[in-house]
Amino acid sequence: MASISEKIGYGFGDMASSMFWKVFSYYLPFFYANVFGISLIDTGVLLLVTRIWDAVSDPMMGIVADRTKTRWGKYRPYLLWVAAPFSICGILLFTTPDWAYGAKLVWAYVTYILMMTVYTGINVPYGAMLGVMTDNSQEKTVFSSFRMFFAYGGSFIALFAWDPLCKLFSGSFGMSLQSSWQFAMIVIAVCCFVLFLLCFYFTREQLTTVSSASLGNDLKALVTNKPWWLLNGASLCFNLFNTVRGATVAFFFADIIGGEQHIAIFSLSILFYSGLFLGVGEVANMVGVALAVPITKKFGKKPTFILVDALLIVFSVIFFMLSPESNGGLLLMLLLQVVISVLTGVMSPLVWSMYADVSDYSELKTRSASTGLIFSSASMAQKFGGAIGGAAVMWLLSACGYVENTDPSAVGIVQPQSAITCLWMLMTFIPAGVALLSMLIVWLYPLGTDEMNDIISRLRQQRQQPVEIPADEFVEPV
């Protein structure tokens, strides 16, 4: 049984990753369009191209990590090696050079590709560590829950503090809008660097797995792995749901809620801004993560996944019916953000735990551990979801006539009704449709509780007695 310090230490790793990832997902599209100064179309292409490269690089990193051998293990040393480049590239990403439009666009491509490459270099090995820290399926869910609890904690800190940090540097220190965003990222980057080092210090790889197959056989086993394909599809949809809603929030608040709206809670009047909306969501995510272990213990992973998707559909549609022009409507928006975020919080550790199950299934079937390669696909699905979601938001807004503000000094821009309608759809019916697709995919996923208990039992025997299991003795889950 792993110690509490090891579980907390493991959580620190995704706390760091998530601080960056949520800022990228929720604020980077708005940054490019309204601070950095490039068009919505160019921003959409940039998000798609760079994240597709990033997604393709994930399996490469998984293959490299699977074959790494050090005194610290296979995956853990990357926390130490890549922490500094990770932080530096994040700062460069939010740096706005005073160049011509074309040169700035090249800078955006170069810095984003660099950032996503080093993100892969640290996040894929970190995710794969879950497969070698314990061989107990339920304890993997516990580790995953610690991971996601701290991830959402980091997201809350980054998102809740982002607007105040930008205003601090622009107001109290008199910096330009562009410099204030850069210095806000410097603060976040320093925190991430320290957290990765703490994760390295507190964690250990408890299992020694061997990637005995050739690269070709590993890839062949991967593409013939039915549970892997289905889980990738469901994970991509889950990340698409989060990215579409998250990338829309800054635009939704700027053009529908407005920058000076307040909500009254009893005798308190609170500024209702995007950072509050997203930050409260992150706290609610943490509640969902805490609920994930007892819920999955009672119902199982697959039924929980399906139930959460169904509830996300319902509450997303209800959000469409609310009015932002009354205090009650704004309060209900915040309440639904809490409910939806609790549900996505339940889902997050579930996805990573299910990838660990798929890794065990693959090792039993092929007698070769390709943990890093399989976990890289989880990161790949996350990034494809982010790429498609982020680009879709930009392109849909452009197609609907959204007026971007490429001049940061401009004020008073009024959006056409078509753009307002598009923003509402991006917050409600479009994510609901994605959740429906996810639910249908998971319905076909074959690794239930009974199947995993059998797989784990046989895998323990296989690791102790490395003898060949005849093909006719391997029972495919159905």
Sequence spans of domains, the chain: 4-203+214-464
* H or E, element range at 265: strand 262-265
CA 408 – CA 30 distance, rounded (Å): 11
pLDDT recorded at residue 307: 96
432-441 in b/e burial notation, b at 16+ Cβ within 10 A? Answer: bbbbbbbbeb
- Please choose, from the candidates 197, 203, 189, the residue with its C-alpha nearest in 3D space to the C-alpha of residue 80: 197
CA 458 – CA 474 distance, rounded (Å): 10
pLDDT recorded at residue 335: 95
Largest distance between two CA atoms of the chain: 72
pLDDT recorded at residue 36: 93
Share of the chain above pLDDT 70, in %: 92
pLDDT recorded at residue 478: 47
CA 103 – CA 37 distance, rounded (Å): 12
pLDDT recorded at residue 221: 73
pLDDT recorded at residue 212: 54
- Please choose, from the candidates 383, 362, 373, the residue with its C-alpha nearest in 3D space to the C-alpha of residue 62: 373
pLDDT recorded at residue 408: 46
CATH number at 4-203+214-464: 1.20.1250.20
Tell me the helices (H) and strands (E) count for the chain, helix number first.
16, 2
Give, for all 478 residues of the chain, the pLDDT tens digit: 778 999 999 999 999 999 998 888 788 888 998 899 898 889 889 988 887 787 678 788 888 888 898 989 999 999 999 999 999 999 999 999 999 999 999 999 999 999 989 998 999 899 889 888 888 877 887 898 898 889 888 988 998 889 889 989 998 888 999 999 999 999 999 999 999 999 999 999 987 766 555 667 777 777 778 888 899 899 889 989 998 998 899 889 988 987 678 888 877 888 888 888 988 998 898 899 889 889 998 999 999 999 999 999 999 999 999 988 888 999 999 999 999 999 999 998 888 788 888 888 888 887 766 777 777 766 677 677 777 888 888 899 999 999 876 554 555 678 899 999 999 999 999 999 999 999 999 999 998 888 888 888 888 888 776 545 444 444 555 4
pTM beyond 0.75: no
Q: How high is the mean pLDDT of the chain?
A: 86
pLDDT recorded at residue 211: 58
Question: For the residues of 104-119, what is the DSSP string, one character each?
Answer: HHHHHHHHHHHHHHHH
